[in-house]
Structure formats: C-alpha cells, structure tokens
C-alpha cells in the first residue's frame, strides 16, 4: 500500500516537473550545447559556422576587451546605484509606511513594468537629448552639455529600468523582520542608528544579496539600454554579440564570448550565494 502511494506521488511530481524540465531542456540546455560546439569552430568563408576544433576564438577574446571592461565595470556599478536608491525605499515601505497604504505603494513600484522598457528608454533619450535637459540648461547660460551617449546616461537608464527588481527582494526581507527585535534593541538603550546597523541591516542582507545578484546577472547581458542611451559609444557584451551574430556573422567568435559571459554569470552567482550563506549563518538562503 505504501509503495503504491509513493509511486503515485512520484508520478504526480514527475507530471508537475516535466513541462518545466522540457521547456528548459529545449530552450536553455540544447541552445547552450550548440553554442559551446560553435565556440570551438571556425567562421565559414560566407559567414556562419564551419566545423573545426580550435581555441582560436577564445584566444581572440582580448579584441573585445572594451565590451568586457564596460560590462564588468558598469554592471556592478549600476547594481550598487540601484541598491543605494532601493534600500531606503524598501525600508520605508516595509517599516515606516502606513499598513493601510502599503499595498498601494508597493503596487506603484511595480507599475513601470506595465510599460515596455523600450518605450521608457526612448523617453529617457528625449529627456537627455539636445531638446531635453541640455536645452533647459542652455536657457540659463550653461552651454555645450552632453548627457546622451555617455556612461552616465547608461547608468541612469540602468537604475531607472532595474530599480524595482532591487526594491522587491529587499522589501520582502525587511517585511519579514521581527519587530520585537527592534523593540528589544530600543529597550536596551540602543539608538536608532545602532539598531539599524546592528539589527535591521544584518537581517536584511539576504534580500540585499538577492537583489544585487539578480540585477548584476541581468545587466551582464544587457543590450537595449547601452544601445539607445550609449549610442554605440558605451559598448556592452550584449552589443558585441548582436554585432557578431547579425552583422559580421562570426558565429564561433560570438559563441566564445557568450560562453565566457555564462561562465562570468556562474561565478557571480556562486560568489553571491557564498556571501549570503556567510551573512545569514545558514546554507538555506535562496537567491532565486
């Protein structure tokens, strides 16, 4: 009887997992295997892939050093700026906001996702362009201000586009905070600043690490924001991949860069998990 129940439970579990497993296999595992195979091939004379086994594509990675440098510099910087802006917002929503209006305020954080990132980025192109803020500055005598097509414009777009993804994990972590710990800290004579750094911040670090890891990993593959707000002058790895696959049709080299990017993402995720485990004092911290 018990064996039959276990068999039935296993079948139900398999039926629930099978669609997701099939989806990931077809759209994630198999494409990655194909990309890995392409990375060791050669570019065909007419473009595309030619069967071979060589490490030449990986040896050519330094030729795209600018894209790697911009990505590895601006992605963590953008994540840090998102964190600086997101933490006070999440803290207010979880700790200070009136519970009657908290759901409305949290909904306002998610509202930007109801609009396409492309449309919102085009809006920033107008704001930062010659007819936007620079035009207003010229009216008060500040001339020749260029804001578009700069690293600053890309970082601004990153913070605007990814801020909700940073706010929500931190909010969830703070919202689960046991208020009795804050009261106990105050009863023991701790000042609000000491309570924050001694109680609130350490207990919210799993949410912080979740948000930082999520935003950083997504930014490592970002294409749209640097393309529109960077104007081709701020080149990310995502832009390099589009150029190699669609323009020069150098699929092996593009695959080598993509494989390297996946390796970087795995390293970032492992480091983030390790830090989160240490901070939380347990190996039960989930980053996803």
Task: Please give the residue range of the domain that contains residue 258.
Answer: 40-280
Q: What pLDDT does residue 284 have?
A: 42
User: Quick one: average pLDDT of 47-72?
Assistant: 92
Reported as a single tens digit per residue, the pLDDT across 22-31 is 999 999 899 9
Q: Tell me if 27 is assigned to some domain.
A: no
Q: Tell me if 1 is assigned to some domain.
A: no
Centre a 10 Å sphere on the Cβ of residue 239 and count the other Cβ atoms it contains.
Answer: 20
User: Quick one: average pLDDT of 204-230?
Assistant: 91
Q: What pLDDT does residue 270 have?
A: 84
Report the domain count for the chain: 1
Q: Tell me if 17 is assigned to some domain.
A: no
Q: Tell me if 130 is assigned to some domain.
A: yes
Phi, psi of 26 (to 5 degrees): -75, -40
Q: Tell me if 2 is assigned to some domain.
A: no
- Which among 63, 43, 62 is positioned nearest to 51, based on CA atoms? 43
User: Quick one: average pLDDT of 108-130?
Assistant: 90
Q: What pLDDT does residue 9 have?
A: 83
Distance CA 125, CA 181 (A): 46
More confident site: 271 or 159: 159
Q: How confident is the model at residue 280 (pLDDT cuts 50, 70, 90)?
A: low
Q: Tell me if 183 is assigned to some domain.
A: yes
Q: Positive or negative CA dihedral for 169, 217, 273, 65?
A: negative
CATH code of the domain in which 140 resides: 1.10.3720.10
Q: How confident is the model at residue 233 (pLDDT cuts 50, 70, 90)?
A: confident
């Amino acid at each position: 009887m018990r064996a039959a129940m276990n068999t039935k439970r296993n079948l139900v579990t398999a039926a629930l997992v099978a669609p997701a497993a099939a989806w990931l296999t077809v759209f994630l595992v198999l494409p990655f295997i194909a990309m890995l195979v392409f990375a060791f091939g050669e570019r065909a004379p007419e473009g595309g892939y030619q069967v071979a086994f060589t490490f030449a594509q990986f040896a050519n990675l330094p030729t795209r050093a600018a894209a790697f440098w911009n990505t590895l510099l601006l992605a963590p910087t953008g994540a840090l700026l998102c964190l600086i802006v997101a933490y006070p917002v999440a803290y207010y929503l979880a700790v200070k906001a009136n519970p009657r209006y908290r759901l409305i305020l949290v909904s306002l954080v998610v509202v930007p996702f109801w609009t396409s990132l492309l449309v919102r980025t085009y809006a920033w192109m107008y704001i930062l362009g010659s007819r936007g803020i620079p035009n207003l500055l010229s009216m008060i005598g500040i001339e020749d201000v260029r804001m578009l097509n700069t690293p600053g414009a890309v970082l601004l777009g990153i913070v605007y586009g990814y801020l909700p993804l940073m706010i929500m994990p931190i909010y969830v972590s703070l919202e689960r905070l046991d208020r009795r710990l804050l009261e106990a800290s105050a009863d023991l004579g701790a000042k609000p600043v000491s309570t924050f750094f001694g109680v609130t911040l350490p207990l919210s670090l799993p949410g912080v690490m979740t948000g930082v890891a999520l935003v950083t990993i997504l930014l490592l593959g970002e294409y749209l924001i640097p393309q529109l707000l960077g104007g081709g002058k701020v080149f990310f790895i995502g832009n390099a991949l589009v150029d190699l696959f669609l323009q020069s049709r150098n699929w092996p080299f593009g695959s080598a860069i993509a494989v390297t990017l996946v390796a970087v993402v795995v390293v970032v995720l492992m480091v983030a998990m390790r830090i989160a485990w240490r901070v939380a004092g347990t190996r039960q911290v989930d980053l996803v």
